């Protein structure tokens, strides 16, 4: 009789080989996912957060150990919108405006708006200057140096750094959504799908344009402060005494008072003729009737005088 010798099982060996194959495949996938094509690296693909490899050159050294470098960088990145108003009196109106324009342009600013008016013979101008934020204080000194009197001054500074950072984050999110929609558009084959994606793309792009405009406006306001200056000349004492007095207006007011007085008297006469006079007549009639009735009833007569004893009666 033949005895069959059992063959050793190969199941553990197969399991081990399978695990090794899976591990090798996973390592290959990981290495393939970590690599980035050269064209995407050069274009700065947004899926990598816009990362760009450092350019060749000297390696940047670390800042001071006390952290002063970080503080100065933070101050440079701070965005502050500066606004203000000035009311100035000057001796020479036209010359002061020309000097102010020259000073602002010399500081790197410009004039964004102006208007002029006259109060009698007294000129007045309101001019808006855009001044670089770094030269704001220099511009204030230059403008006030042209005045004989600073009538009013007001300045304000508002930090908008957080608002700009928030807008940047929202813009980045919308641009990522735009890229996703573009990828879907490239794969869409049905017309309804294409129209739906196109509508969403238009909406996203509109939001991006609006947010970019808001961000750029804030950056522009932070880069250039806005100063509105009112220019005028001092008020002469005689002009100040005459200011507010108008003879023609005074005559008109006096005539108006006279007309109102005449209207009042005429109104009283009308009321007396229509209402007062009939009541007066009725009152007189009633008074006459009352007097006649009183006499007939003997009211008002003197009582007879009795004769005194031993004397004569005097009529």
* 96, burial (CB in 10 Å: exposed 0-12, middle 13-18, buried 19+): buried
Cβ contacts of 90 within 8 Å, gap of 6 or more: 96, 146, 147, 148, 231, 232, 233
Q: Between residues 283 and 55, which one has the greater pLDDT?
A: 283
Q: What pTM did the predictor assign? A: 0.49
pLDDT 10s digits, 164-206: 999 999 999 999 999 999 999 888 888 998 899 999 999 999 9
- Place 129 in a pLDDT band, splitting at 50, 70 and 90: very high
- Place 60 in a pLDDT band, splitting at 50, 70 and 90: very low
- Place 84 in a pLDDT band, splitting at 50, 70 and 90: very high
Mean pLDDT of all residues in 125-135: 95
Residue 63 confidence (pLDDT): 42
Residue 297 confidence (pLDDT): 78
Mean of the per-residue pLDDT values of the chain: 76
Q: CA 130 → CA 126, 228, 262, distances in Å? A: 14, 9, 61
Contact 233, 87 (CB under 8 A): no
Tell me 133's DSSP state.
G
Residue 42 confidence (pLDDT): 36
Residue 276 confidence (pLDDT): 84
Q: Between residues 17 and 39, which one has the greater pLDDT?
A: 17
* CA atoms of 60 and 112, how far apart (whole Å): 41
* CA atoms of 107 and 142, how far apart (whole Å): 10
User: Is it the case that residue 46 has pLDDT exceeding 90?
Assistant: no
Percent of the chain with pLDDT over 70: 67
> Which pair of structure tokens corresponds to residue 300?
């008002």
pLDDT 10s digits, 150-169: 999 999 999 999 999 999 99
Cβ contacts of 44 within 8 Å, gap of 6 or more: 50, 51, 52
Residue 307 confidence (pLDDT): 58
User: Is it the case that residue 273 has pLDDT exceeding 80?
Assistant: yes
Give the Cβ contact number of residue 87 at 10 Å: 17
Strand order in the sheet with 110-119: 110-119, 122-132, 224-232, 80-89, 149-159
C-alpha radius of gyration, the chain, whole number: 51
* CA atoms of 63 and 36, how far apart (whole Å): 32
């Amino acid at each position: 009789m033949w005895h069959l010798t059992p063959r050793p099982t190969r199941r553990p060996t197969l399991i081990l080989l399978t695990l090794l194959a899976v591990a090798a495949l996973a390592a290959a996938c990981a290495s393939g996912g970590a690599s980035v094509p050269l064209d995407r690296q050069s274009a700065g693909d947004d899926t990598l957060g816009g990362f760009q490899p450092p350019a060749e050159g000297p390696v940047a050294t670390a800042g001071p150990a006390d952290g002063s470098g970080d503080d100065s960088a933070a101050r440079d990145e701070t965005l502050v919108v500066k606004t203000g108003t000035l009311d100035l009196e000057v001796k020479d109106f036209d010359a002061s405006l020309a000097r102010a324009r020259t000073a602002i342009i010399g500081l790197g600013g410009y004039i964004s708006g102006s208007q002029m008016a006259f109060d009698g013979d007294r000129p007045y101008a309101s001019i808006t200057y855009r001044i670089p934020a770094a030269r704001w204080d220099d511009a204030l000194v230059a403008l006030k140096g042209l005045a004989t009197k600073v009538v009013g001054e007001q300045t304000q500074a508002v930090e908008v750094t957080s608002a700009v950072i928030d807008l940047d984050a929202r813009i980045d999110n919308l641009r990522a959504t735009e890229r996703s929609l573009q990828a879907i558009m490239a794969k869409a084959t049905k017309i309804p799908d294409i129209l739906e994606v196109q509508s969403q793309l238009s909406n996203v792009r509109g939001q991006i344009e609006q947010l970019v405009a808001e961000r750029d406006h804030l950056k522009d306001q932070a880069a250039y402060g806005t100063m509105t200056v009112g220019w005028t000349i001092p008020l002469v004492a005689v002009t100040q005494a005459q200011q507010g007095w108008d003879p023609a207006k005074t005559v008109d007011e006096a005539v108006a008072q006279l007309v109102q007085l005449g209207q009042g008297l005429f109104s009283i006469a009308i009321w007396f003729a229509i209402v007062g006079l009939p009541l007066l007549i009725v009152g007189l009639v009633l008074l006459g009737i009352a007097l006649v009735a009183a006499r007939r009833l003997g009211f008002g007569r003197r009582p007879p005088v009795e004769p005194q004893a031993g004397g004569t009666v005097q009529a």
